[in-house]
């Protein structure tokens, strides 16, 4: 990984077209049946709704209209009680986050779905082998990895399920790394990881991400370390998120609009990138003045330091410099969501897309949903 950081002057942002700027790439992993397909359908379906925009001040649109329509028709089936049919192909889904009152998207979010069935079997023919290779190159370069922990299995089998899942995931990561080393010169797996408990609607009421996060951190410490080592990521196992795509009763959807955790993903990803940059700066400056690390560490007063911040961001984060800087201006999250939504509206009025996006993200992080559904055991 270190080699990637050696030339901080390479400003990836200069080469990017507008559409590619600030595209958060998230890799979605989970065994088959864990809820990936349903998640992607509901993620888009719920966040493109008019009532969502009214409340949150932004909405998602699909970058490709045809893909959006296809996801929507599956979402409307969910509204009629039906979970989407399974799929076994890997796909990329690109969404634009549109802030109310602004015509350009503030952020792009691309999901790379990696079929769980691929963990469990060898490619059945050369076509599948090729599509696995393509999926692999899509995974490389993702900023964030999300591993789904099936909430239903967790409720039934507890930690023994989690331990087995993590061991299986470790083996899959090792296989992927071997495959990646054959096609590219260096692997570039995400460094930031979230463990997401899917189907959170089936957990007993009152369950929080903190409760589950602490249980897994203690009860599966050895398996977490195994995956972290395989990924070469110190981050793995620190962040936990509750996700639910709908309220359901067995295989019937009761309410497709009752989802949990979705709107936290983009802000958590951005905040994690910022903290990752802090850690990187600290490593680099070890034994030197430590000025930049200190400045970043307080997450404050870096208003005039955009270019300097750039020097400390790994190239794949550099397109986010301005947005990360706006996110980092210290402002207590306990000011509450409505404070940040007002700031978002004011920024939109000025046409300041970066400030508006940062405020929209901070509103989510300071919401009651974040306190219930998100836990970082390092914070
Ligand atoms: N209660 C509940 N069940 C879910 C949820 N998401 C998925 N499921 C169930 O899990 C099954 C498998 O989900 P699917 O998205 O196809 O999993 P995938 O194989 O990971 O893509 C669905 O058919 C539903 O029965 C959820 O949010 N809540
Ligand atoms: Mg699926």
Same domain, 232 and 354: no
Whether residue 334 is contained in a domain is answered as yes
pLDDT for residue 41? 95
Is the pLDDT confidence value at 9 over 70?
Answer: no
Same domain, 160 and 208: yes
Which-ligand-closest: CA of 120?
Answer: 1
Of the residues 262, 297, 314, which one is the last residue of a structural domain? 262
Whether residue 308 is contained in a domain is answered as yes
More confident residue, 68 or 274: 68
Low-confidence winner among 11-25, 154-168, 231-245, 338-352 (lowest mean pLDDT): 11-25
Same domain, 146 and 288: no
pLDDT in tens, 18-69: 334 588 999 999 998 999 999 999 999 999 999 999 999 999 999 999 999 9
pLDDT for residue 35? 94
Of the residues 209, 235, 262, which one is the last residue of a structural domain? 262
Residue 296 burial class via C-beta count within 10 angstroms: exposed 0-12, middle 13-18, buried 19 and up: buried
Most ligand 1 atoms within 8 A of CB, residue of 29, 31, 33 to mutate: 33
More confident residue, 90 or 293: 90
Which-ligand-closest: CA of 31?
Answer: 1
Taking the centre of ligand 1 as the mean of its atom positions, its distance from the CA of residue 126, in whole angstroms, is 29
Same domain, 190 and 293: no
pLDDT for residue 4? 28
pLDDT in tens, 193-230: 999 999 999 999 999 999 999 999 999 999 999 999 99
Say how many C-beta atoms besides its own lie within 10 A of residue 79's C-beta: 13
pLDDT for residue 370? 94
pLDDT for residue 18? 39
Distance (Å, whole) CA 58 – CA 105 = 10
More confident residue, 87 or 158: 158
Same domain, 312 and 218: no
pLDDT for residue 3? 30
pLDDT band at 15 (very low <50, low <70, confident <90, very high): very low
User: Which domain range does residue 215 map to?
Assistant: 21-262
Distance (Å, whole) CA 147 – CA 169 = 9
User: Sign of the CA dihedral 144, 147, 151, 157?
Assistant: negative
Is the pLDDT confidence value at 78 over 70?
Answer: yes
Q: Which residue from 151, 365, 139, 369 is spatially nearest to 266, judged by alpha carbons?
A: 365
Residue 265 structure tokens: 């993903």
What total number of domains does the chain contain?
2
Q: Which residues contact 158 (CB under 8 A, 6 or more apart)?
A: none
Taking the centre of ligand 1 as the mean of its atom positions, its distance from the CA of residue 116, in whole angstroms, is 13
Say how many C-beta atoms besides its own lie within 10 A of residue 264's C-beta: 24
**Contact of 177 with 230, CB cutoff 8 Å:** yes
pLDDT band at 166 (very low <50, low <70, confident <90, very high): very high
Whether residue 103 is contained in a domain is answered as yes
Same domain, 340 and 215: no
The helix/strand/coil state of 20 is helix
Which-ligand-closest: CA of 200?
Answer: 1
Same domain, 247 and 306: no
pLDDT for residue 329? 66
More confident residue, 352 or 140: 352
Q: What is the CATH number of the domain that holds 95?
A: 3.40.50.300
Distance (Å, whole) CA 287 – CA 133 = 42
Nearest CA, atom 7, ligand 1: 35
Same domain, 68 and 174: yes
Distance (Å, whole) CA 362 – CA 267 = 7
Of the residues 207, 238, 262, which one is the last residue of a structural domain? 262
Same domain, 207 and 281: no
pLDDT for residue 274? 76
Same domain, 294 and 251: no
For ligand 1, say whether the CB of 246 is within 6 Å of any of its atoms. yes
Only one residue has tokens 């509901």, namely 42
Is the pLDDT confidence value at 192 over 60?
Answer: yes
Nearest CA, atom 5, ligand 1: 199
pLDDT for residue 89? 73
Whether residue 203 is contained in a domain is answered as yes
């Amino acid at each position: 990984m270190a080699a990637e950081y050696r030339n901080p002057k390479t400003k990836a942002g200069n080469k990017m077209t507008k559409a590619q700027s600030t595209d958060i790439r998230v890799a979605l992993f989970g065994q088959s049946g864990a809820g990936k397909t349903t998640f992607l359908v509901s993620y888009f379906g719920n966040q493109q709704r008019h009532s969502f925009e009214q409340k949150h001040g932004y909405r998602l649109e699909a970058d490709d209209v045809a893909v959006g329509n296809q996801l929507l028709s599956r979402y409307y089936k969910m509204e009629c009680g039906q979970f989407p049919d399974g799929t076994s192909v890997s796909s990329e889904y690109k969404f634009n986050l549109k802030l109310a009152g602004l015509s350009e998207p503030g952020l792009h979010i691309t999901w790379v779905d990696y079929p769980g069935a691929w963990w469990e079997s060898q490619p059945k023919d050369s076509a599948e082998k090729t599509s696995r290779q393509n999926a692999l190159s899509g995974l490389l370069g993702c900023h964030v990895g999300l591993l789904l922990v099936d909430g239903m299995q967790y409720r039934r089998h507890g930690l023994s399920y989690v331990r087995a899942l993590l061991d299986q995931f470790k083996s899959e990561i090792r296989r992927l790394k071997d495959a990646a080393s054959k096609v590219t010169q260096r692997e570039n797996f995400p460094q930031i990881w979230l463990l997401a408990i899917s189907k959170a609607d089936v957990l007993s009421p009152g369950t929080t991400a903190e409760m589950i996060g602490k249980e897994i951190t203690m009860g599966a410490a050895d398996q977490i370390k195994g995956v972290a080592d395989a990924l070469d990521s110190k981050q793995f196992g620190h962040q936990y998120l509750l996700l639910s795509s709908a309220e359901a009763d067995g295989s019937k959807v009761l309410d497709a609009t009752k989802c949990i955790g979705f709107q936290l993903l983009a802000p958590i990803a951005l905040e994690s990138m910022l903290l990752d940059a802090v850690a990187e700066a600290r490593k680099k400056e070890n034994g030197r003045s430590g000025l930049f690390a200190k400045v970043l560490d307080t997450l404050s007063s870096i208003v005039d330091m955009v270019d300097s911040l750039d020097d400390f961001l790994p190239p794949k984060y550099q397109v986010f410099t301005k947005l990360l800087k706006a996110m980092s201006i210290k402002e207590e999250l306990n000011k509450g969501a409505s404070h940040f939504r007002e700031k978002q509206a004011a920024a939109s009025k000025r046409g300041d897309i970066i400030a508006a996006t940062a405020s929209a993200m901070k509103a989510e992080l300071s919401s009651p949903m974040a306190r219930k559904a998100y836990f970082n055991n390092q914070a």
